[in-house]
């Protein structure tokens, strides 16, 4: 159960927006708040300290506590991804920046290059600058992460944290993600409807997106055969993308024999797999169908069956969620729908 002062801080935060709309900028006195909440002035003072650290109020000696004017509130939003230049990210960054600008927010995008240390530094910077919100596209989000403590620090300071493309994460973060489990089922069913019955798969085992897709695949295949499934780590995914062929070559030789379709977690893996299949004399899609979840240009290859989501819709929902959270409102929960392309 939360401490009394935290409960009071939460209650006051909800009241600030209403007070501002009524033109009331000064909070009741500490004594009055203590009487309203049946607690000591020391408890009220601790609650007000939380709101002050979050940049929501100013405490003025001898005068009282005041709501911070909108013009003085930080309107910066941090977007933290593995790589801002990665082929999916530019459209996201551009679209989100445009959507946020309409509400007077400024987006700053940063790359971690998969480094937990760099991610920690960026989260700490966001906290020190008291940004309006933090959006993180986490890598290896199923692996315990020491940076969760920094996320908890941000949340304690009333800085909203949004996890993008992830269903995992510390308590208190908001998730904006496609329904990857349903997408895994839909894509598998699509392959079955086209006459493919021996369907293999490649998913990342330390990613919630990959494991959600895998669950959808398992639920949809007629007969589950673990021997057709390649579960890789984020490190192995990076090796594949960098052009190291050992993992995929072994998969083709030992697993794909007798299969007529394979689902890949993303277009980059699918692209490299198609290239190796062609070199092996296996025709795509005549001999085997390669499918993936993606929104990037790799999946625009006509030989790859892909499923994606509406990037513009994602950006609009992200911007609305940021605005609602930053203004102390509760955003509507929303799952980004997916659809097979073509």
* pLDDT tens digit sequence for 210-227: 999 999 999 999 889 999
In terms of DSSP bridges, do strands 304-309 and 289-293 run parallel, antiparallel, or are they unpaired? parallel
The H or E element spanning position 274 is helix 267-279
Class of domain 180-308: alpha beta
pLDDT score recorded for residue 5: 85
**Topology (CATH level 3) of domain 4-69:** Arc Repressor Mutant, subunit A (1.10.10)
pLDDT tens digits along 14-34: 788 778 777 788 889 989 999
pLDDT average, residue stretch 283-289? 94
Report the distance separating Cα 216 and Cα 165, nearest Å.
Answer: 16
Q: Average model confidence (pLDDT) for the chain?
A: 88
pLDDT score recorded for residue 217: 97
Provide the sign of the torsion angle of the four alpha carbons 280, 286, 292, 295, taken in this order: positive
pLDDT average, residue stretch 309-315? 89
Residue 202's closest CA among 141, 290, 287, 298? 290
pLDDT score recorded for residue 71: 57
Radius of gyration of the chain (CA): 24
Domain definitions of the chain by residue range: 4-69, 74-178+311-340, 180-308
Please indicate whether the domains covering 74-178+311-340 and 180-308 agree at the CATH topology level: yes
> Which alpha helices (DSSP H) does 134-266 contain, by range?
148-156, 180-193, 208-220, 234-241, 246-254
pLDDT tens digits along 89-131: 788 899 999 999 988 899 999 999 888 899 999 999 999 998 9
Q: Is residue 162 classed as helix, strand or coil in its secondary structure? A: strand
| pLDDT over 70 at 72, yes or no | no
pTM over 0.85: no
The H or E element spanning position 133 is strand 133-136
Name the CATH superfamily housing domain 74-178+311-340: Response regulator (3.40.50.2300)
Confidence of residue 309 (pLDDT cuts 50, 70, 90): confident
pLDDT average, residue stretch 289-299? 80
Residues 6+ apart with CB under 8 A from 96: 79, 107, 135, 315, 318, 319
pLDDT score recorded for residue 326: 86
């Amino acid at each position: 159960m939360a401490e009394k002062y935290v409960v009071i801080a939460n209650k006051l935060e909800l009241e600030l927006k209403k007070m501002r709309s009524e033109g009331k900028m000064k909070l009741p006195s500490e004594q009055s708040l203590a009487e309203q909440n049946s607690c000591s002035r020391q408890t009220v003072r601790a609650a007000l300290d939380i709101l002050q650290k979050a940049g929501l109020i100013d405490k003025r000696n001898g005068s009282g506590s005041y709501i911070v004017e909108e013009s003085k509130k930080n309107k910066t939003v941090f977007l933290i991804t593995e790589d801002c230049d990665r082929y999916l990210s530019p459209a996201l960054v551009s679209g989100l920046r445009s959507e946020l600008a309409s509400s007077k927010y400024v987006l700053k995008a940063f790359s971690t290059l998969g480094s937990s240390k760099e991610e920690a530094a960026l989260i700490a910077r966001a906290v020190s600058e008291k940004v309006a919100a933090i959006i993180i596209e986490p890598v290896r989000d199923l692996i315990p992460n020491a940076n969760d403590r920094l996320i908890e620090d941000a949340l304690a300071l009333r800085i909203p944290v949004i996890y993008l493309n992830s269903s995992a994460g510390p308590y208190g973060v908001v998730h904006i993600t496609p329904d990857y489990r349903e997408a895994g089922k839909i894509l598998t069913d699509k392959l079955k409807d086209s006459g493919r019955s021996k369907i293999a798969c490649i998913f990342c085992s330390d990613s919630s997106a990959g494991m959600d897709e895998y669950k959808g695949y398992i639920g949809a295949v007629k007969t589950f055969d673990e021997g057709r499934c390649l579960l890789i780590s984020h490190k192995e995914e990076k090796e594949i993308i960098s052009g190291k062929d050992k993992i995929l070559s072994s998969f083709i030789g030992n697993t794909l024999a007798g299969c007529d379709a394979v689902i890949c977690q993303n277009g980059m893996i699918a692209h490299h797999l198609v290239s190796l299949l062609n070199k092996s004399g296996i025709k795509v899609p005549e001999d085997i169908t390669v499918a993936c979840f993606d929104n990037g240009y790799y999946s625009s290859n006509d030989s790859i069956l892909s499923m994606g989501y509406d990037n513009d819709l994602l950006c609009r929902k992200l911007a609305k969620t940021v605005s609602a959270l930053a203004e102390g409102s509760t955003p509507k929960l929303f799952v980004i729908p997916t659809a097979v392309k073509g």
